[in-house]
Amino acid sequence: MLTLTCPYCGVSGEETEFHAGGEAHLKRFISGSTDAEFDEYMFLRENPKGVHFERWRHVYGCGKWFHAARDTNTLEVFGTYSAQVSEPPKEIKDKISAKRPGWSWRNFK
Amino acid sequence: MSKAVSALAGAKASVLVAIEERGLQGMITLRGDFASAAFKKAVKSVLGVDLPGQRAVAVAGEKAVAWMSPDELLVMVPHEEADAVVEALSGALKSEHHLAVNVSDARAVFRLSGKDALVREVIAKVAPVDMAGFGPGQIRRTRISQVAGAFWQPEAGVLDLVCFRSVAQYVFDLLKVSAMEGSEVGHLG
């Protein structure tokens, strides 16, 4: 069971109050992109054992979307942050580096 | 105009705590930019309270304003005043991007009253909320077993809970079971 903290309403709630929204920080490739780019965007997802970034929605609470950084292996949540960013903020990356030195996820490390 | 009736016509149950459907309650959803001075001013002038802080409830007589999300308030007024208050809010916010809508008849309101620890315990059994850290002045939107709901405590020993009207019977039955005689846990004192 995950305990997530919604960055918008400050509630620390357990997983059932939220809804997972899939992988975070996807870049959309639509018309005009190459087949390879579209294939990557549409079908290919990370499935790491360890550090992972996801979108979540506080569906039974304030209804806002946000991002979460967590470990899929230990279920430790490193932090949650605003949905209005295209990459994890520095303090989240620093927190992960302190606990999982040498981590990387897609282009982030 | 048809006569307004509440979801369960004031159903009551007296178990570990008293559970009561509160009947008609005026409720307005108000959305807008909380950072805007005009929005704050409109709330203050129409409703007579300052904009509540994060997850807080501000009360002024029969009116109350609850913080629902970073851009949404729940305004509670007497049922018959709801339309007039919506009009007043819309007028005061004419130049602002906002939404004010009367949702009174889409909701049901319950009141639990009794020993404070028991009232909070009845909720603790059905919602994933740490009720030891909950008290008057706060509002919590959460999951009430299988449905969405929100609750706050006007004072110790009293708790008001809102849910959608369509699930009113479910929530009433759920609360009755949660407050069944002999089911006290006693972990909240």
B-chain residues within 8 Å CB-CB of A65? none
Contact assignment for A60 to B141 by CB distance below 8 Å: yes
B-chain residues within 8 Å CB-CB of A16? 128, 143
Q: How confident is the model at residue B2 (pLDDT cuts 50, 70, 90)?
A: confident
Give the one of A9, A17, A64 whose C-beta lies nearest to B55's C-beta.
A9
Residue B188 counted as domain residue:
no
The CATH code of the domain that includes B138 is 3.30.70
Average pLDDT over residues B40-52: 93
Residue B51 counted as domain residue:
yes
- What the block records as the tokens of B124 is 């603790």
Check residue A24 and give its pLDDT: 95
Q: Which long-range contacts (CB under 8 A, 24 or more apart) does B147-153 make?
A: B147/B171, B148/A60, B150/B66, B150/B68, B150/B74, B151/B123, B151/B127, B152/B57, B152/B66, B153/B119
Q: Where are the alpha helices (DSSP H) in A1-109?
A: 35-43, 90-99
Residue A19 counted as domain residue:
yes
Which residue range(s) make up the domain with B79? 26-105
A-chain residues within 8 Å CB-CB of B69? 8-9, 61-64
A-chain residues within 8 Å CB-CB of B54? 9-10
109 residues of chain A, pLDDT tens digit each: 899 999 999 999 999 999 999 999 999 998 899 999 999 999 999 999 999 999 999 999 999 999 999 999 999 999 999 999 999 999 999 999 999 999 999 989 8
Average pLDDT over residues B121-150: 95
pLDDT in tens, B85-128: 999 999 999 999 999 999 999 999 999 999 999 999 999 999 99
- The one-letter code for the residue type at B43 is V
User: Which residue of chain B has the CA closest to A14?
Assistant: B128
Give the one of A8, A9, A16 whose C-beta lies nearest to B128's C-beta.
A16
Q: How confident is the model at residue B59 (pLDDT cuts 50, 70, 90)?
A: confident
Residue B187 counted as domain residue:
no
Quick one: B85 and B45 in the same domain?
yes
Check residue B1 and give its pLDDT: 65
* Bridge-based pairing state of the strands A77-81 and B57-60: unpaired
Mean pLDDT value across chain B: 94
How many Cβ atoms are within 10 Å of B179's Cβ, its own excluded? 25
Evaluate whether ipTM surpasses 0.85: yes
